[in-house]
Amino acid sequence: MGILVNKDSKVVVQGMTGSEGAKHSRAMKEFGTQVVAGVTPGKGGQDFEGWPIYNSVAEAKQKHDANVSIIFVPPAGAADAVLEAAHAGIPLIVLITEGVPTVDMMRAVQEVKRLDAESKAGGGQGVRLIGGNCPGLVTNGECKVGIMPNKIYEKPGRIGLISRSGTLTYESAKLLNDAGMGTSTTVGIGGDPVIGTTFADVLPMFEADPDTDAVVLIGEIGGADEEAAAEYIAQNMKKPVVAFISGRSAPKGKRMGHAGAIIMGDVGTPESKLAAFQKANVPVADTMPEIIELVKKALGQ
Amino acid sequence: MKLHEYQGKEILRQFGVNVQDGKVATTPEEVRAIYQEYGQPVVVKAQVHVGGRGKAGGVKFSPNEDKAEENARNILGMDIKGLTVEKVLVTRAVDIDAGTEYYVGMIVDRNVQSYTLMASAEGGMEIEEVAATTPEKIIKYRVDPVTGLRPFEARAVAIEAGFKGNLNKIADMMVKMSKAAFERDAVLVEINPLFIEADGTPLALDTKFEVDDNAMYRHKDIAHYRELSAEHPLEVEASDYGFAYVKLDDGNVGVLGNGAGIVMTSLDVVNRAGAKPANFLDIGGGAKADVVYNAVKLVSKDPDVKSIFINIFGGITRADEVAKGVIQALDDGILTKPVRMRIAGTAEDEAKVLLGDKNSDLIKMYPTMFEAAEEAAKEANALGGK
């Protein structure tokens, strides 16, 4: 179970024949993900390590009934790859690529949202984009659509995890595992300024998921997604949420690796995020191991 | 990439914005010659990538050619917030009292997943200041990323902001600014002050422009705008290696790790341990030994760095590759500062075996990032760091 992806998800890989696409297609298959096909325009009809390659997402979807796409296309073509998947009717699109121009992402995200609304208005299941510049998502023991190390996500747990950072996602999943809790589904929403899915979009899914008891949210400086999440939690969530914010000592005006991790003027400061979580009664861990203590406390353990 | 005022003006001019004329000079003599050409009072403006030039004395009204040359002599070579002024922009002086100063700008706004257009009748001062004291005086409007800003929208925002003057011309300038933002991939564009002349015509007196680094591949024609001399030499070297690197002020612990999040957290942990991080360095995902070697080399070069904290949680990155890179740096004599590291995740055991043989005062491994950071902080503070 878990959210967004499970053992029945059928995954098509856009950019499978590139080095990253190939490497992670193998790793996803090893994890147990149903990787059904690859898409590389111009290489349609070829076989790649046992996977059929198609020229278009539409064709791959039609032949294999795919319902998830993961994108490893280089930055210049990445936003177009998102739109191709969205127009082909793939309901869940995961953009791994880092370095996509922000203007391209603005346009892609707006169009995906329009298609989502149209699909839902017509009784369809909608279209969701996760990322870019994200590690993807994984439901433990069932399905990984991403680039995270397999080992820490094998055993099913009951803590939902959402994060703007890749490595911190692995780190916290490992800590949760070691503490005997483990994760249900982990969603890496990405480190770019304009992304398809925010914390506040994922939280309601965890709230509704019977396999999730509590949620860990890994935020960072920049933007106001954490503030929006805090507001959502205060108004709508019954399940406990524990937060962590990285980059608390970063100076203003400097971009900390992630394109979105920058304090501009008074927007994106750690103070603002901490205050928002405090107001929402969401405990914020000062260190990563403290996340575990706070989760245990929240669950009454 | 931040652009100088004159570079931002060049771009806006290409999009048809009525920009105040000016010429760039690097010597006082050139400034005198420009004055002679204009034959009227000028303003000599320092071209540096920081705000607050005026307050720092980097913008001077010059009523005659002697004064223009003198002002240029004072401004060129001046240090403004750590940056040396190497160029000035000389513009015709405008009688500010004969018109009005407004503000318009566009910024990437993740909350609306597009650009937010900002307009304020409080022109001429830093918008952050207006935002802090009288935020109600800034009108904000989400620009649709597919259509861009359209004239009727620009007029509505201008009216709401209380702009007076030739409304059609002002809106036209805003639309052109929006085109420049989308087509040149701006992270930020500002026209401030947007000067409204006595006859109602808008004129862009000063601009700020920052281009999305991720989009530079499609703006090769402005690649020469990048000035290596305006950047920290270590940042220049890091960008040649393809690292995400930021030099931090007043630090004494060099920090490197794999992934932006883990490095940000590493900075926090170093702070918590009572020392100051001297840099942010993300070696990226899946780094091989040679990449790690270069990263260690780069951080070691920084004279501020007294000790190095390496924090790796291997996912795609293999811990043994990291170990190999560090060991190579040690064997080559590049590593002369104490390294305190925490390496966990993929191939952790192999890394421990490799590094176990090298365990010394120079290289030590710890099971958690806190212990490693604390030891790095202790070393740095003991070695006369700040």
Reduced to 3 states, what is the DSSP secondary structure of residue B34?
helix
Contacts of A233 (CB under 8 A, 6+ apart): A203, A241, A280, A282
Q: What pLDDT does residue A265 have?
A: 67
Task: Report the residue count for chain B.
Answer: 386
Q: How far is A46 from chain B (nearest CA, A)?
A: 28
Residues of chain B with Cβ-Cβ distance to A221 below 8 Å are 264
Q: Please report, for chain A, the start and end positions of each structural domain, with discontinuous segments joined by +.
A: 10-131, 155-298
Closest by Cα among A56, A13, A3, A55 to A34: A13
Cα-flanking dihedrals φ and ψ of residue A36, to 5°? Answer: -100, -25
Closest by Cα among A267, A293, A241 to B131: A267
SS3 percent helix, strand, coil of chain B, rounded to 5, is: 40, 25, 35
Asked if pLDDT for residue A123 goes beyond 80, the answer is yes
Residue spans of alpha helices (H) in A146-269 = 166-178, 199-208, 225-236
Determine what percent of chain A is predicted with pLDDT higher than 70. 99
Reduced to 3 states, what is the DSSP secondary structure of residue A277?
helix
DSSP H/E element including B174: helix B167-183
Which of residues 93 through 132 in chain A touch B, CB cutoff 8 A? Answer: 99-104, 106-107, 109-111
Q: What single DSSP character describes residue A153?
A: G
Average pLDDT of the residues of chain B: 91
Q: In what side-by-side order are the strands of the sheet with B42-46?
A: B22-25, B88-92, B42-46, B59-62
Q: How far is A71 from chain B (nearest CA, A)?
A: 17
Q: How far apart are CA A126 and CA B1, in angstroms?
A: 37
Residues of chain B below pLDDT 70: 229-230, 384-386
Domain A155-298 classified CATH 3.40.50.261?
Answer: yes
Cα torsion A46, A51, A53, A59: sign: positive
Which of residues 100 through 139 in chain B touch A, CB cutoff 8 A? Answer: 107-108, 110-111, 113-115, 128, 131-132
Q: What pLDDT does residue B384 have?
A: 66
Please give the positions of B annotated as active site: 103, 190
CA nearest to B249 within chain A? A251
Contacts of B39 (CB under 8 A, 6+ apart): none
Contacts of B332 (CB under 8 A, 6+ apart): none
Residue spans of alpha helices (H) in chain A = 19-31, 57-64, 75-87, 102-121, 166-178, 199-208, 225-236, 270-279, 288-298
Q: What pLDDT does residue B5 have?
A: 93
Question: Could B248 and A191 be called an inter-chain contact, meaning their C-beta atoms sit closer than 8 Å?
Answer: no
Residue in the block written with tokens 């914010």: A245
Q: Any CB–CB contact under 8 A between B215 and chain A? A: yes
For domain A10-131, the CATH class is alpha beta
Q: How far apart are CA B181 and CA B108, in angstroms?
A: 10
Distances (CA, A) of B100 to B11, B97, B160, B197: 24, 7, 16, 7
Q: What pLDDT does residue B55 have?
A: 83
Q: What pLDDT does residue B386 have?
A: 47
Cα torsion B278, B283, B289, B295: sign: negative
Q: Is B350 left (phi over 0), alpha (psi -120 to 50) or beta?
A: alpha
Radius of gyration of chain B (CA): 25
CA A138, A167, B320 angle in degrees (round to 5)?
110
Question: Could B259 and A255 be called an inter-chain contact, meaning their C-beta atoms sit closer than 8 Å?
Answer: no
Residues of chain A with Cβ-Cβ distance to B107 below 8 Å are 264
Reduced to 3 states, what is the DSSP secondary structure of residue A197?
coil
- 3-state SS of A2-34 is CCCCCCCCEEEEECCCCHHHHHHHHHHHHHCCE
Q: What pLDDT does residue B196 have?
A: 95
Same fold, A10-131 and A155-298: yes
Question: Could B272 and A287 be called an inter-chain contact, meaning their C-beta atoms sit closer than 8 Å?
Answer: yes
